[in-house]
Chains A and B, each alone.
Chain A
Amino acid sequence: MTTAQLIGSDPGWLILVKALIVFAVCVLLTLMSVWGERRIVARMQQRPGPNRVGPFGLIQSLADGVKLALKEDIIPTAADKIVFIIAPIISATTCFMSFAVIPITGEVTMFGRQTAMQLTDIPVGVLYILAVASVGVYGIVLAGWSSGSTYPLLGGLRSSAQVISYEIAMGLSLVAVFIYAGSMSTSDIVAAQTSWWYAVVLFPSFAIFAISMVGETNRAPFDLAEAEGELVGGFHTEYSSLKFALFFLAEYVNIVTVSALATTLFLGGYHAPPGLGFTENWLGGWFTAIWFLLKVVTFFFVFVWLRGTLPRLRYDQFMQFGWKVLIPVSILWILVVATLRVLTLENASTAIVVAFASTVIFIILAINVGFENVKKKKDAEVPEGDNKSEPSFAVPSLPTLPIEISTINVSKNSGGNRD
């Protein structure tokens, strides 16, 4: 019996209970992750981190939440009031929604009924998650736009551009998974990974997904939308009190959701790591939830680790990386995967598959060598000693300044062409 059939027979009250559990898990994970992130980043900087409220500072995030809720809620005069209020609600609700299709456990008994800890299982579960995530972008865009202020507008623009472009790479990286699993339903994809995780089989997809999910969640080193040094607070500059708390919540729920999605699609979801398959029957199947959570926490740790290590990318480099590297690479990878898959399904001989694979590797190596040569040539082209070559980036002309001409020792001819 598939998970879809298993869940399909759930009575209404069980669905309600599950919804509650999913919500509770989400909120709890978020609270824990805020605390965890602060503690881990602190340790990476040789600080203790929050350790005042509760044991080990565990309920620090709760205290922060209360503090935020009690603060004055300011709505700027220039803001579009209705949109301003709706935006954080969109942000916060959508990120919870995607958790509905994440399978947390395998088959378990819940209040005397055979079911699985997954709120719902739709045939296009992963597409649903992508769709919900896209709606979540509206929260950011609308927040930036409705604030009636420059920094939020720029921050909103940035993050929407960012999320949209990295969503493409993310979606493309999932195609290989769909091709291999033969389904878009999350539970089917997990079921297809009983022997081999897709992180191993489809490593390039996994790498692209891992990178783009950091971009998708606006997290460091891709946190351009809230680049403090450039945009104050980014899209939520004008937000305060509970509305700000909602954005804050949304960010962390998003991280948890994306980690859960990555776990589901690439790390075998609730399945135990290879060699520990016998643990899946412990606690009447509930032990699988522990494996699932462990994997999610691992992903979360990587998120924190990235934040603790890497500086923020420059905006144009970031967009270039998304459009000129991630997307083309994933398209090529899809071609390769699709061909391999067709060859396998058509029962092609191993020789053909190997031949195809080696051709692909050969082409990639050839492209790489060619690229390196071009790069070397380009480096060699720079003439020695001539320091006055034109900058390669676009430069606006200087405003007319009362410059002492005699102090500038340049000829007119050596100046760049400024058209």
Chain B
Amino acid sequence: MTENLEPIKPKDLGINDVDFYEVDQTPTVGFFGHMRGFWVTFSTMFKKPLTVEYPEVKAPTEERFHGRHQLNRHPDGLEKCIGCELCAWACPADAIYVEGENNTEENRMSPGERYGKVYQINYLRCVFCGLCIEACPTRALTMTNEYELADDSRAKLIFEKADLLAPLRAGMLMPPHPMYPDMNDTNYYKGDVKQAHPSQELDK
């Protein structure tokens, strides 16, 4: 056919000039082949539905599911956040706002120099990518598996520090309070502090 090749004008081109190949047709399935389709739907009726009936039944998430954030504490109750703002800088969606403040002897929220005074995460912006968790130098910020983040106003979806802080567990004291005796921030970082010391309790 090559000798027939000659330039053709675009207007002469029809759909038939474009190569097409016949698709291999599967052999006809016959009557029982058609009936098999009906059997599929019929037998499915007697199987257990796969639906998770959500509000009543909550299927557990994957272990490392990216849910709501949490600001962790040291075992004695002091906050891990040092107000460095690395999470805020790492955030691609600009969802995190941090204001740091100096710790003083009277008002110590975290071991070391600084603590996060204001900590906000805007869940209208957050994309749950987890870059903030990667950025955090003290593991102050981690993510929980909590996924029920819906509300009826924009303001309610900006979570403040109080909303994000991990609860006090056994052996923890509510900051502000002094550091564990004879321990510095490096000890805290290394995990030498296991629980609060009675001397850390502030006089009422």
Of A170-178, A328-336, A349-357, A401-409, the one with at least 4 CB within 8 A of chain B: A401-409
Across the interface, name the chain A residue whose C-beta is closest to B15: A395
| Residue A388, interface by CB 8 Å | yes
| Residue B12, interface by CB 8 Å | yes
Q: Chain B residues near A402 (CB, 8 Å)?
A: 10
Q: Chain B residues near A388 (CB, 8 Å)?
A: 19-20
Contact B44 A45 (CB under 8 A): yes
Across the interface, name the chain A residue whose C-beta is closest to B49: A48
**Minimum C-beta distance from A221 to chain B (A):** 11
Contact B14 A309 (CB under 8 A): no
Contact A43 B49 (CB under 8 A): yes
**Minimum C-beta distance from B5 to chain A (A):** 5
| Residue A347, interface by CB 8 Å | no
| Residue A377, interface by CB 8 Å | no
Contact A309 B38 (CB under 8 A): yes
| Residue B170, interface by CB 8 Å | no
| Residue B53, interface by CB 8 Å | yes
Contact B45 A40 (CB under 8 A): yes
| CA distance in complex: A308, B42 (Å) | 9
A interface vs B, CB < 8 Å? 40, 42-48, 305, 308-310, 382, 387-391, 395-398, 400-403, 405, 408-416, 418
Beyond the given pairs A44-B45, A401-B10, 9 more chain A to chain B contacts, judged by CB atoms under 8 angstroms and listed by A's residue number, are: A45-B44, A48-B53, A305-B42, A310-B37, A408-B13, A409-B19, A410-B19, A411-B1, A415-B14
If A400-B10, A410-B17, A410-B19 touch, whether A43 touches B5 (CB-CB below 8 Å) is: no
Q: Chain B residues near A396 (CB, 8 Å)?
A: 15
Across the interface, name the chain B residue whose C-beta is closest to A52: B53
A-B interface, 3 closest residue pairs, ranked by CB to CB distance from nearest: A416-B16, A411-B4, A415-B17
19 contacts between A and B (CB under 8 A): A305-B38, A305-B41, A382-B22, A387-B21, A389-B22, A396-B15, A400-B10, A408-B17, A409-B19, A410-B17, A411-B1, A411-B5, A411-B6, A412-B8, A412-B17, A413-B1, A415-B12, A415-B16, A415-B17
Q: Chain B residues near A389 (CB, 8 Å)?
A: 22
Identify which of residues 25-60 in chain B touch chain A, using a CB-to-CB cut-off of 8 Å: 37-38, 40-42, 44-45, 47-51, 53
| Residue B7, interface by CB 8 Å | yes
| Residue B11, interface by CB 8 Å | yes
B interface vs A, CB < 8 Å? 1, 4-22, 37-38, 40-42, 44-45, 47-51, 53
**Minimum C-beta distance from A411 to chain B (A):** 4
Q: Chain A residues near B16 (CB, 8 Å)?
A: 390-391, 395, 415-416, 418
Across the interface, name the chain A residue whose C-beta is closest to B47: A46
Q: Chain A residues near B12 (CB, 8 Å)?
A: 412, 415
The residue that B7 contacts in the complex, of A42, A391, A397, A405, with Cβ under 8 A, is A405
| CA distance in complex: A389, B5 (Å) | 18
Contact B10 A403 (CB under 8 A): yes
| CA distance in complex: A390, B16 (Å) | 7
Q: Chain A residues near B10 (CB, 8 Å)?
A: 400-403, 405
Contact A309 B7 (CB under 8 A): no
The residue that A416 contacts in the complex, of B14, B38, B49, with Cβ under 8 A, is B14
Across the interface, name the chain A residue whose C-beta is closest to B45: A43
**Minimum C-beta distance from A386 to chain B (A):** 10
Across the interface, name the chain B residue whose C-beta is closest to A410: B17
| CA distance in complex: A43, B48 (Å) | 8
Q: Chain B residues near A387 (CB, 8 Å)?
A: 19-22
| CA distance in complex: A390, B19 (Å) | 10
Q: Chain A residues near B42 (CB, 8 Å)?
A: 44, 305
Contact A403 B21 (CB under 8 A): no
Q: Chain B residues near A408 (CB, 8 Å)?
A: 13, 17-18
**Minimum C-beta distance from A70 to chain B (A):** 22
Q: Chain A residues near B44 (CB, 8 Å)?
A: 43-46
**Minimum C-beta distance from A210 to chain B (A):** 14
Contact B20 A391 (CB under 8 A): yes
**Minimum C-beta distance from A410 to chain B (A):** 5
| CA distance in complex: A397, B16 (Å) | 9
If A397-B14, A416-B16 touch, whether A47 touches B41 (CB-CB below 8 Å) is: no
| CA distance in complex: A40, B44 (Å) | 10
Contact A309 B37 (CB under 8 A): yes
**Minimum C-beta distance from B181 to chain A (A):** 60
| CA distance in complex: A237, B7 (Å) | 49
**A397, A400, A401, A410: most-surrounded residue (chain B CB, <10 A):** A410
**B4, B47, B49, B50: most-surrounded residue (chain A CB, <10 A):** B49
| CA distance in complex: A310, B38 (Å) | 8
Q: Chain B residues near A310 (CB, 8 Å)?
A: 37
Across the interface, name the chain B residue whose C-beta is closest to A400: B11
| CA distance in complex: A310, B44 (Å) | 15
If A309-B37, A408-B13, A412-B12 touch, whether A47 touches B49 (CB-CB below 8 Å) is: yes
**Minimum C-beta distance from A112 to chain B (A):** 45
| CA distance in complex: A33, B15 (Å) | 48
If A308-B41, A402-B10, A412-B6 touch, whether A46 touches B17 (CB-CB below 8 Å) is: no
Contact B8 A398 (CB under 8 A): no
**Minimum C-beta distance from B2 to chain A (A):** 8
**Minimum C-beta distance from A384 to chain B (A):** 11
Q: Chain B residues near A43 (CB, 8 Å)?
A: 44-45, 49
